Structure 1
Amino acid sequence: MTNKKQYKRVTVKSLVEMKAANEKISMLTAYDYTMAKIVDGAGIDVILVGDSASNVMAGHETTLPITLDQMIYHASSVVRAIDRALVVVDLPFGTYQSDSKEALRSAIRIMKESGGHAVKLEGGKEIKDSIKKILNAGIPVMGHLGLTPQSIYKFGTYTVRAKEEEEAKQLLKDAKMLERIGCFAVVLEKIPAKLAKEVAESVSIPVIGIGAGADVDGQVLVLHDMIGMTHEFNPRFLRRYMNLYETMTNSIGQYVSDVKSSDFPNAEEQY
C-alpha cells in the first residue's frame, strides 16, 4: 500500500489528488476562532464556514436570514485560527441567485475581507452563469446539489431529494455540468446512496456527502451536531461522537451549585 501524501496545507488541488488516490476527504463546519482552532488541530481536511451558522449560532429556523456581512465575520474568525485546512465559505441566500454580477461581487467580498480559500454555492444549471463569473475571476467554487437548504420553502420539507428518476437524472447532469465549467468539488446532501455513488463515479472532481452514503469521496457534518452540542436534531445520517450537551449542562449546573454554596473559589483559587 502506498503511503498517503501528507499535506502541510490543504488546497483545492490536494482534494482532487486525494480523490485520485482513493483517500477519503474529511470536512466539518466551524464558525468561530476557538472551535476552528480545535478542528484544524485535529487534522480535518476542509472547514466549511456554513450558512448553517444561521441555525447553529443565531437560532434561526432556516439558513435564509444570515447576511453576507455575517458570513464574512464568521469566515474571518475561522481563517485566523487555521494552519492546515482548506476554508470554504458559503455564499448566503440572495447574494448570487438572481444576478451573476452580484454573485461575483459577493464572492470577491468573501475572499478579500475574510481570507477564505473558496466559496460554495447551492444549485445546478439555474446558477451556472453566477458560478462561471466567479470562476473566471480566479475564485475556486464548490458546488452543492441534492437538498439545498436555501430552497427550503420551494421544497417545503428537508426530506431526501432525487428519489424520483427525473430529479435524479437532472442531479447527475448538474454534477457533470459543475465539473465541466470548473468547480473543484461538489457537496451532495441527503440523496439516495446509490445515486451519490453514480455521481462520484461519473465525475473526476471530489464528491462530498452529507446523508449521501459511503460511496462518495468524503463526508461533511455540522460540528455542533457531531459533538452533540445540539440534541434536538436527529437525522439518520448523523453520528454523534460526543454528548457535549449533557456534559456541559452537568458542568454548568455544578458550577452554579459551587458558587451558591461558596465552594468556589476555594483557598487555592484566590490571590
Structure 2
Amino acid sequence: MKTITSIQKHKGTTPLTVITAYDALFASLFDQKVDIILVGDSLNMSFNAKPDTLSASMDVMLYHTKAVCAGAKETFIVCDMPFGTYTDEKTAIYNASRVYAETDAHAVKIEGGIARAPIIKALTQNSIAVMGHIGLMPQFVRSEGGYKVRGRTEEDIVTLIEDARAVEKAGAFSVVIEGVVEEAAKRISEAISIPTIGIGAGKYTDGQVLVWSDMLGFFQAFQPKFVKRYLEGATLVQTALDAYIKEVQERSFPQTEYTYQK
C-alpha cells in the first residue's frame, strides 16, 4: 500500500495512477492496481443524476467512503470533502475528523488555493492528511458561472502557481490540478515539490486521475474532452441485458445447469 511518503517519492518519476470509486465492488476491482482511490463527490453527478457536485452531503461521502474502504484493503484512499463542510477551520476540523473516526480513509481532499491555505494548515496541524485541488474547481461552478478552463493567460498561470505554493506550504502532501492548459500545469508542477495529479491538465503532471464511470464508458450523459474511454461499459451492459431479456422471454433461460434438480 502507498503511504504519504511513498506517494511523494513519485514527484518527477513514475506517474501516480488515481481513479475514483464509490462502492465496495468496484473498489475491490481497483485494489492493489492503482496507487490511489479517490472517493469523489463526482458521485453526485455520475450516480445521483445531479447537475453538479454541490448537494453531496458529509453523510453521503462517509457512507461511500466506508464502502470503498471495505472493498479496497490495500490501496491509499482519499475522501472528497463536500461543499460547505470546510468553510472555516473549526468546521473543517470537525468534518475531516469524522472521516478519520468513521472510515479507514487515509486523507481528505479540499478545493481551493491561497484562500483555503489556512484551513489546510489547520487540518494538517491536527494530524489530518490533505490532498489539495486547484484550477477548475467543481464546487465553484455556480459562483464562477460554469466550468472554465484555467491557465490561458500569463496572469492566470501566475495565480495558479501561487495557489499551488500556498497549498504546499500549508502542508498538503499532493495537489490535484483540474481543467488547466497543459503548459500551465507543467509550470505549476515544476514550481512545487509535492506531486501534482492532473485531470484535464495534460501529461506533465506527476499523476493522472479519472472518474471510473467516465473512463470505463458507463456514464453517457456527456464526455469531457479530457476523458479517454478504455471500455464501452454501457454498450456491453446493454448488449448483455438484451440477451438476458430475450432468453427469459423465449424461456431458454434458465438452462438445466442453472436449475436445481431433485
> What is the TM-score with the length of structure 2 in the denominator?
0.97
Which residue of 2 is the match for residue 68 of structure 1?
58
Mean CA deviation greater in 121-130 or 64-73: 121-130
Matches within 5 A, 1:109-128: 109-128=98-117
Which secondary structure does the structure 2 equivalent of 1:239 belong to? coil
Which secondary structure does the structure 2 equivalent of 1:155 belong to? coil
Matches within 5 A, 1:49-68: 49-68=39-58
Which residue of 1 is the match for residue 97 of structure 2?
108
Kindly indicate whether residue 219 of structure 2 is the aligned counterpart of residue 230 of structure 1. Answer: yes
Of residues 22, 26, 35 in structure 1, which corresponds to 2:26?
A: 35
Which residue of 2 is the match for residue 13 of structure 1?
5
Query: What stretches of structure 2 of length at least 5 have no aligned partner?
Result: none
Which residue of 1 is the match for residue 238 of structure 2?
249
Which residue of 1 is the match for residue 183 of structure 2?
194
Deviation for aligned residue 1:192 = 0.6
Which secondary structure does the structure 2 equivalent of 1:138 belong to? coil
Cα pair 2:118 2:170 within 8 Å, conserved:
no
Deviations 1:22-62 (A, max 9, x none): 11100000000000000114x10000000001111211110
Which residue of 2 is the match for residue 3 of structure 1?
none
Aligned counterparts of 1:17 and 1:230: Cα–Cα separation in 2: 33
Which secondary structure does the structure 2 equivalent of 1:188 belong to? strand
Query: What stretches of structure 1 of length at least 5 have no aligned partner?
Result: 1-8
> What is the TM-score with the length of structure 1 in the denominator?
0.93
Kindly indicate whether residue 262 of structure 2 is the aligned counterpart of residue 270 of structure 1. Answer: no
Which secondary structure does the structure 1 equivalent of 2:10 belong to? helix
Which residue of 2 is the match for residue 176 of structure 1?
165
Of residues 130, 137, 140 in structure 2, which corresponds to 1:148?
A: 137
Which residue of 1 is the match for residue 69 of structure 2?
79
Which residue of 2 is the match for residue 5 of structure 1?
none
Cα pair 1:200 1:217 within 8 Å, conserved:
yes
Aligned counterparts of 1:183 and 1:267: Cα–Cα separation in 2: 58
Aligned counterparts of 1:125 and 1:59: Cα–Cα separation in 2: 32
* Corresponding letter in the other structure for 1:217: D
Of residues 225, 248, 251 in structure 2, which corresponds to 1:259?
A: 248
Aligned counterparts of 2:78 and 2:37: Cα–Cα separation in 1: 6
* Corresponding letter in the other structure for 2:58: L
Deviation for aligned residue 1:84 = 2.4
Which residue of 2 is the match for residue 4 of structure 1?
none
* Corresponding letter in the other structure for 1:253: D
Which residue of 2 is the match for residue 216 of structure 1?
205
Which residue of 2 is the match for residue 6 of structure 1?
none
How many positions carry a matched residue from both structures? Answer: 260
Q: CA RMSD in A?
A: 1.1
